[in-house]
Amino acid sequence: MVSFPHTVLQVVPALNAGGAERTTADIAQAVVAAGGRALIASSGGFLENEIVKNGGEIFTGSYDAKDPISLWKNARRLCEIISENEVEIIHARSRAPAWSAYIAARNSSIPFVTTHHRGFALAGPFKNFYNSSLLRGDLVIANSAFTANAIRASNAINPAKLRSISRGVDLAAFDPDTVSPDRIRAVFASWGVPGDDVGGEGESSLRMLLPARLTRWKGHKAAIQAIAANKSQMRAGNMPKLTLVFCGGAQGGSSYETSLRALVEKRGVREMVHFVGECADMPAAYGWADVVLSPSVKPEPFGRAPIEAGAMKKPVIAFDHGGVRETVAHGVTGILVEPGNEGAFARALFDFAAMSSSDRIEMGARARGRVTERYSVAKMVEATLDAYRDVIAGRNY
């Protein structure tokens, strides 16, 4: 890794689960490894210990607050951190803290970088102004080509300030050769799901994983409908037994989970669909699955699940929109179907089940190769540090 003897302050609302949070930790580790200082202003979370262990420094505050008074207070606090620690660049990853970081950057005369995770959606005048904080960076990083194209189409930014850097997956952590059968058995046992724990030759079931928070736009309903649509084929012996695991906690209450459970009962697939909550060992969870489902009803700006699945040599079945068009190659590393077409999703599931074991293995191997080539953490952090070097040198502002 090329030397990077600079001090970077990242600002993120919290340090819990999520792509922005994971990327924050990865960049902090890379900055330290390259000889710099990695500071993070955040309200905290379970990634704190990892970040500190890897040499990062945490400045805890209410950086998840959105009210104007808190934003101004946070801006003053960020100015203090910048001054006391000789910060050379500040990088914001969410709209509210981006306002505080923008004010602090301008008052401190240092470069301001943002990462845009959601594309650009037009709304009312106030909402558009609030959202614009992430477009005010001297350099704006888009987390995918899809997001970058959406920003360009809005005409809200000088294209010279925009750079696309896809998220990355830790190829060492998500490596099927290092995830032992015992780890897979352990995570499977923790779920309490009947059926095959590891699988193998002659297996009689098709194991499917949908790794996502229980929120409507992740498409759990489409997955349930696909299972139900194939129930008669399964009973007729035209496809193996189907086992679907929803791996992820409820978001914003349990009403959505309740509605999903009601749908499971209504469609008569209770023995096939299982809600297991959060999983502490996601590589092992992917290791258990034959295929990973990503039926998001809205376009994912990027989506980590397809690249984590690919790294673990698992094909993906997904709706053909958003960032998944970049991360999954139709017919090569997975199957993409018309967005929102639940019937097409069910047919794709049947087609995958009809594939030979060797064809599925080859598809998974191609997925690992594609992720290795395009979506490693190493590539992501290298591109980000290059972006930092450019903006510090004044080549982007």
- Distance between CA atoms of 142 and 73, rounded to whole angstroms? 28
**Amino acid 174: pLDDT:** 97
Say what the pTM is: 0.89
Residue carrying the six token digits 């199957």: 335
Residues 6+ apart with CB under 8 A from 112: 89, 90, 92, 101, 102, 105, 106, 136, 137, 138
Q: Mapped to the 3 state alphabet, what secondary structure does 340-388 carry?
A: CCHHHHHHHHHHHHHCCHHHHHHHHHHHHHHHHHHCEHHHHHHHHHHHH
Cβ burial 11-50 (10 Å sphere, 16+ → b, else e): bbbbbeebbbbbbbbbbbbbbbebebbbbbbbbbbebbee
Calculate mean pLDDT across residues 247-262.
86
- 3 state DSSP class of 59: strand
User: What contacts 24+ positions apart, CB below 8 Å, involve 76-84?
Assistant: 76/104, 77/41, 78/9, 78/11, 78/41, 78/103, 78/104, 79/104, 79/107, 79/108, 81/9, 81/39, 81/41, 82/9, 82/108, 82/110, 83/108
Burial class of residue 141 (count of CB atoms within 10 Å of its CB; 0-12, 13-18, 19+): buried
Report helix, strand and coil shares of the chain as percent, to nearest 5.
45, 15, 35
**Amino acid 128: pLDDT:** 75
**Superfamily of domain covering 181-374:** Glycogen Phosphorylase B; (3.40.50.2000)
**Amino acid 121: pLDDT:** 57
- Distance between CA atoms of 357 and 359, rounded to whole angstroms? 5
Res 119 pLDDT > 60: no
Report the run of H or E that residue 184 belongs to, with start and end.
helix 181-191
Residues 6+ apart with CB under 8 A from 351: 335
- Say yes or no: do domains 7-168+376-392 and 181-374 share a fold: yes
Separation of first and last alpha carbons in the chain: 25
Determine if residue 87 is left, alpha or beta; phi over 0 gives left, psi from -120 to 50 gives alpha, anything else beta.
beta
Res 342 pLDDT > 60: yes
Nearest to 216 by CA among 340, 116, 54: 340
280-314: pLDDT as tens digits: 899 999 999 999 999 999 998 898 999 999 999 99
User: What contacts 24+ positions apart, CB below 8 Å, involve 124-127?
Assistant: none
Structural domain spans, the chain: 7-168+376-392, 181-374
The CATH number of the structural domain formed by 7-168+376-392 is 3.40.50.2000
User: Bigger pLDDT: 122 or 319?
Assistant: 319
Tokens (6 digits) for 19: 């792509």
Question: What are the phi and psi torsion angles at 297 (to 5°)?
Answer: -80, -20
Tokens (6 digits) for 91: 């990088």
Q: With bands split at pLDDT 50, 70 and 90, how would you rate the model's confidence at 130?
A: confident
Residue type at 318?
A: A
- Distance between CA atoms of 378 and 384, rounded to whole angstroms? 10
Calculate mean pLDDT across residues 32-58.
95
Tokens (6 digits) for 49: 């210990």
Res 120 pLDDT > 70: no
DSSP 192-230: T--S-SS--TT--EEEEEEES-B-GGG-HHHHHHHHHHT
**Amino acid 1: pLDDT:** 67
User: Bigger pLDDT: 194 or 377?
Assistant: 377
User: Bigger pLDDT: 30 or 194?
Assistant: 30
